[in-house]
Structures are given as C-alpha cells and as structure tokens.
C-alpha cells in the first residue's frame, strides 16, 4: 500500500519508517512535491491532525495520515499542548521551547506531564483517528542528546532516563507516537 505521511519533519518520518512494515510504501510531503507548510489552525491535536490529512487528501487524493503531538504539563494547565512546537515563538526552536518550559517550571513541585500524539488517517475518503499517550515527568535540566523537541527534559514513567537518553528502538517501544503508530499499523493490517 502507498501511503503519504503529511510531514516535512525528518525526525518524525524516521521514527515512523522504523515502525512500519515493508508492505507499506511511505512517502513524505517532499516525495509528492508538496513543499508548503500546512497551517495548523485547530484548537486541539485532533483538529490539527485532521486539517493536515484532509489538506493532502483533498489536494492529491492520496491515502494519507498526519499527526499532531503535544506536551501537556499539569502545573502549566496543560500547556504547551497544541502550541508545543511554537511555545517560544513561530520559529519552532526546540532549545527556546525547552528553556521556556524550564523557566516556567522552576519552582513547581508538581512536574507531572504527558506526551500525546493523535494520528488522522484517510483511506479512500474514510477518516480514522488513533491516539497514543505516555505519562512522565519534566526534568529540572536537559539530559541526553538523542531524539528531538522536548525529549531532553521529559522522563517517561517507569524509567530513570529522559527520552533523549534512549536509542530510537527503545523510545519507539514506549513513546506516544509509537503507541499511536501501533494502532495505525494494526488498522492498516486489518484492511489489507
């Protein structure tokens, strides 16, 4: 099956490629010649994932999936949430985003947080949603240099290290995106 992943993010693409089986040919937005940013105007992760998937499906009529991911921090009322990529500004600078979170969390005793991914899949016009969540804590300082985004300051529940200290295989087994992709893959297998 040929499937478009509606992203320009090479880190996300690599994570998904490592999880998908060989019966699915995965194409990125670059592969199909779509070089524009899709404006994420939704008020939550589900709306943004659907906006991206619908944009590509309506433009190209390709089977497609898109995701949106957010870091939800309890002490910040669920922020940065849907604004995770742009928390410190429109330039989507991961270092600035982490610095802003750490500054806001400086004196917070409650460090509980979760990463959430919502995947919107459109196959032959039918829409499906899949969600993955991983609970954890916000660290006081960044740790590790693997991964991307907020990975250096997020320690998943049940582990003593941050996402950025895990290799890709270990992270994919427990990550929010990995959990959502497992549901996506199970669905794709069921319809093939």
* Closest alpha carbon to 143 in 159, 169, 165, 158: 165
Q: What pLDDT does residue 74 have?
A: 98
Residue 128 has pLDDT above 90, yes or no: yes
pLDDT-based confidence at residue 9 (cuts at 50, 70, 90): confident
Contact between 171 and 163 (Cβ < 8 Å): yes
Report how far residue 31's alpha carbon sits from residue 4's, in angstroms, rounded to the nearest whole number.
Answer: 9
Contact between 1 and 188 (Cβ < 8 Å): yes
Question: Is-catalytic flag, 74?
Answer: no
Q: Roughly what angle, to the nearest 10 degrees, separates helices 176-191 and 10-19?
A: 50
Q: How confident is the prediction for the chain on average, in pLDDT?
A: 92
Contact between 73 and 116 (Cβ < 8 Å): no
Residue 2 has pLDDT above 80, yes or no: yes
The matching CATH number, chosen from 1.10.10.10, 3.10.129.10, 3.90.950.10, 2.40.50.140, for 2-191 is 3.90.950.10
User: pLDDT (tens digit, 9 = 90+) per residue, 138-160?
Assistant: 999 999 998 789 999 999 999 99
Catalytic hit among 68, 79, 151, 167: 68
Percent of the chain with pLDDT over 70: 99
Mean pLDDT, rounded, for 73-95: 94
Q: Following DSSP, what letter does each residue of 120-134 receive, concatenated?
A: EEEETTEEEEEEEEE
Contact between 25 and 16 (Cβ < 8 Å): no
Going from the C-alpha of 164 to that of each of 17, 139, 156, 170, 182, the distances in angstroms are 19, 12, 11, 11, 21
pLDDT-based confidence at residue 21 (cuts at 50, 70, 90): low
Q: Which helix (H) or strand (E) holds 172?
A: helix 168-174
pLDDT-based confidence at residue 189 (cuts at 50, 70, 90): confident
Report how far residue 179's alpha carbon sits from residue 173's, in angstroms, rounded to the nearest whole number.
Answer: 8
Residues 6+ apart with CB under 8 A from 42: 48, 49, 50, 51, 68, 82
User: pLDDT (tens digit, 9 = 90+) per residue, 28-80?
Assistant: 999 999 999 898 899 999 999 999 999 999 999 999 999 999 999 999 999 99
Query: pTM of the entire structure?
Result: 0.89
Strands (E), the chain: 2-5, 25-28, 64-73, 112-123, 126-138, 154-156
Report how far residue 64's alpha carbon sits from residue 119's, in angstroms, rounded to the nearest whole number.
Answer: 10
């Amino acid at each position: 099956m040929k499937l478009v992943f509606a992203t320009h993010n090479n880190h996300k693409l690599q994570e998904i490629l490592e999880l998908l089986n060989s019966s699915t040919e995965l194409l990125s937005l670059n592969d199909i010649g779509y070089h524009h940013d899709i404006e994420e105007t939704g008020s939550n992760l589900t709306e943004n994932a659907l906006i991206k998937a619908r944009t590509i499906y309506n433009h190209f009529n390709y089977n497609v999936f898109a995701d949106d991911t957010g870091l939800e921090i309890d002490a910040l009322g669920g922020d940065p949430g849907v604004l995770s990529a742009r928390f410190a500004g429109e330039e989507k600078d991961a270092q600035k985003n982490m610095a802003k979170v750490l500054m806001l969390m400086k004196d917070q005793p409650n460090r509980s947080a979760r990463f959430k991914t919502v995947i919107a899949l459109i196959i032959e016009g039918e829409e499906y949603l899949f969600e993955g969540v991983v609970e954890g804590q916000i660290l006081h300082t960044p740790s590790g240099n693997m991964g991307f985004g907020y990975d250096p300051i997020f320690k998943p529940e049940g582990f003593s290290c941050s996402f950025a200290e895990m290799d890709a295989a270990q992270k994919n087994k427990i990550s929010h995106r990995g959990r959502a992709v497992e549901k996506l893959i199970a669905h794709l297998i069921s319809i093939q």
